[in-house]
Structure 1
Amino acid sequence: MDLFRHRRASLVGLRALVLLIAATGCSSADDNAPTSVPSPGTKATKLCQNLDKSLPRKVDGLDREDPEPRSALTAGWGSPAIILRCGVSRPAKMVDPEVANGNDPTAIGGVVNGVDWLMEKRDDGATRFTSAQRLAYVEVTVPDGRDTSSVLVDLAGAVKKAVPEGIAD
């Protein structure tokens, strides 16, 4: 029975995230922009290196095409690219009481296949998801205009496998 409730909560969270994303406008992402490589501590770096080995070759049907500069802490799929960065700092919105109380329409929490995420709409129209309750923060940026419904589903297994639950330093 608990498993059923957990799956139902995951589906409800995914639907809420998809609806919020679908309600936003369109813009384009700059494929030529370099991706900033995070600088986490030793513990998070090891987790991120393990995540890199576990990441799928395809996300949302798109082939993996890692951004420059190449790093085990970053990954990308498609063009405009879905970008994953592992070992990022905790987002300020993650501790914002307005977000926790559901009063900030630009940030919402949700669970997708057992991974907690904070979703934030960015000014450029992209959506940034940051994992929560994991020993390293994983950030996934999805360009505006890209269907996000399967991105987190495709990445959840690798995140769960490589980055254990807990509170990141």
Structure 2
Amino acid sequence: MRGRSRTPLAATALATGVVLAGGAVLTGCSAPVQLADPQVDDATRATCTALVADAPGTVLGSPRRATTGSLSVAWGDPPIALACGVAKPEGLTATSQCLEVDGVGWWAQDGVTGTVYTTVGRAAYVQVGVPNAYGSTGDALAELGPVVARHDTLLRPCAG
């Protein structure tokens, strides 16, 4: 894997009402979603910059919102948030359960207010936080999977 931030975006952030860590606090739909950029190498930055630029204008019918990080994107209120180039989450191992949605593998971590999904088997780790308010989170992964597949190189397929 390429270089990663030493501190992963924590799935436990959902327990405090934050979609992803890095200080993401919603203060209103017009305010940018606060997401800090992870420290990444140049190759990961290039991958993530292209992925974020190509992210859809809406997810689950919610419009795209501004974020404070250049390697992240968010939609709606409460925000669905995507962060690219995050560190490998603690607990993610070669034997972790992998959910495949349209050719992209994801590892899920439950939180109190939603679920955080992290890509599996790709050059860069991408996390997507989906609040419970959106119901079926698989639909968000189906909408975001194509942009991940276009920009983040598959290293090994989802094992199950």
1:154 counterpart residue number: 143
Q: CA deviation at 1:149?
A: 3.0
Using the size of structure 2 for normalisation, the TM-score is 0.73
2:120 is aligned with 1:132: yes
Q: State the alpha-carbon separation in 2 of the partners of residues 36 and 118 from structure 1.
A: 22
Match of 1:51 in 2: 51
Query: Hey, what's the Cα distance between the residues in 2 that align with 1:36 and 1:158?
Result: 21
Aligned partners of 2:98 and 2:105 also within 8 Å: yes
* In structure 2, distance between residues paired with 1:133 and 1:42: 20
1:89 to partner: Cα distance = 0.3
Which residue of structure 2 lines up, in the alignment, with residue 114 of structure 1? 103
Query: Contact between 2:116 and 2:127, CA under 8 Å: does it hold in 1?
Result: yes
Partner of 2:153: 164
CA displacement, residues 42-63 of structure 1 (integer Å, 9 cap, x when unaligned): 1111100110122111111111
1:73-92 → structure 2 map (5 Å cutoff) = 73-92=71-90
In the alignment, the residues of structure 1 paired with residue 120 and residue 94 of structure 2 have an alpha-carbon distance, to the nearest angstrom, of 14
Q: Which has the higher helix share?
A: 1
Alpha-carbon distance in 2 for matches of 1:92, 1:117: 15
TM-score of the two chains, using structure 1 as the length reference: 0.70
Distance 1:130 1:82 in 2: 14
Shift of 1:96: 7.3
Looking at structure 1, the residues matched to 141 and 124 of structure 2 have their Cα atoms a distance apart, in angstroms, of 16
How high is the sequence identity, in percent, across the aligned residues?
27
Question: Which structure 2 residue ranges, 5 or more long, are not aligned?
Answer: 1-15, 19-24, 28-32
Moved more, 27-36 or 38-47: 27-36
Divergent runs of 4+, >4 A: 27-30
Measure how far apart 1:79 and its partner are.
0.5
Any unmatched runs of 5+ in structure 1? 1-26, 101-107
**Residue range with higher mean Cα deviation, 144-153 or 75-84:** 144-153
Give the C-alpha shift of residue 28 in structure 1: 5.5
